[in-house]
Amino acid sequence: MSRTVVSVGLGQRAYDVLIGPGLIDGAGALVSPLLRKQRVAVVTDANVGDYHGERLAWALEKAGIAVDTIVMPAGEATKSFEGLADLSARLLALKLDRGDLIVAFGGGVVGDLAGFAAAIYKRGIGFIQVPTTLLAQVDSSVGGKTAIDTPQGKNLIGAFHQPRLVLADLDVLATLPDREMACGYAEVVKYGLLGDAGFFEWLEVNGAKVLERENAALAYAVAHSVRMKAEIVAEDEHETGRRALLNLGHTFGHALEAETGFGDEFKHGEAVAAGCVLALAFSAQLGLCPQEDASRAAAVLKAAHLPTTLSDLPRQGMSADALIDHMAQDKKADGGKLTFILSRSIGDAFVARDVDVASLRAFLIAQGAQA
Ligand code: GLY
Do 57 and 39 form a contact (C-beta atoms < 8 A)? no
Residues with CB under 6 A from ligand 1: 139, 143, 145, 243, 246
Q: Which of 239, 257, 259, 270 is catalytic?
A: 239
Q: Is 247 noted as a catalytic residue in this protein?
A: yes
Share of the chain above pLDDT 90, in %: 85
CA of 131 to the centre of ligand 1 (A): 15
CA of 244 to the centre of ligand 1 (A): 8
Q: Which of 154, 254, 296, 326 is catalytic?
A: 254
- List the domains of the chain with CATH numbers: 4-175 (3.40.50.1970), 178-366 (1.20.1090.10)
Do 224 and 194 form a contact (C-beta atoms < 8 A)? no
CA of 65 to the centre of ligand 1 (A): 31
Q: What is the pLDDT of residue 121?
A: 97
Average the pLDDT over 105-109 and give the result. Answer: 96
Confidence of residue 147 (pLDDT cuts 50, 70, 90): very high
Q: Is 254 noted as a catalytic residue in this protein?
A: yes
**Between 2 and 218, residue with greater pLDDT:** 218
CA proximity to 183, closest of 140, 244, 228: 140
Predicted confidence (pLDDT) per residue in 157-195, tens digit = 999 999 999 999 999 999 999 999 999 999 999 999 999
- Ligand 1 closest atom vs CA 239: 5
Confidence of residue 1 (pLDDT cuts 50, 70, 90): low
Record the pTM. 0.95
CA of 97 to the centre of ligand 1 (A): 29
CA of 145 to the centre of ligand 1 (A): 7
3-state secondary structure 284-310: HHCCCCCHHHHHHHHHHHHCCCCCCCH
- Ligand 1 closest atom vs CA 145: 4
Query: Buried (b) or exposed (e) across 282-314, using 16+ Cβ within 10 A?
Result: bbbbbebbbeebbebbbebbeebebbbebebbe
Q: How far apart are CA 69 and CA 77, in angstroms?
A: 20
CA proximity to 162, closest of 138, 184, 132, 140: 140
Q: Which amino acid, 361?
A: R
- Whether 50 shows a pLDDT value over 90: the answer reads no
Q: Is 161 noted as a catalytic residue in this protein?
A: no
Taking residue 241's Cβ as centre, other Cβ atoms within 10 Å add up to: 11
Q: What is the pLDDT of residue 336?
A: 55
* Best residue for ligand 1 mutational test, from 162, 246, 332 (most atoms within 8 Å of Cβ): 246
- Ligand 1 closest atom vs CA 246: 2
> Which segment of 65-69, 75-79, 223-227 scores lowest on mean pLDDT?
75-79
Q: How far apart are CA 46 and CA 98, in angstroms?
A: 26
Q: Is 268 noted as a catalytic residue in this protein?
A: yes
Q: How far apart are CA 207 and CA 2, in angstroms?
A: 21
- Whether 76 shows a pLDDT value over 80: the answer reads yes
Confidence of residue 365 (pLDDT cuts 50, 70, 90): very high
Predicted confidence (pLDDT) per residue in 302-350, tens digit = 999 999 999 999 889 899 999 999 888 765 555 556 889 999 999 999 9
Average the pLDDT over 127-142 and give the result. Answer: 98
User: Which residue minimizes the CA distance to atom 2 of ligand 1?
Assistant: 246
- Ligand 1 closest atom vs CA 142: 4
- Whether 351 shows a pLDDT value over 70: the answer reads yes
Mean pLDDT (the chain) is: 94
Rounded (10°) angle between helices 215-235 and 178-195: 50
Q: Is 145 noted as a catalytic residue in this protein?
A: yes
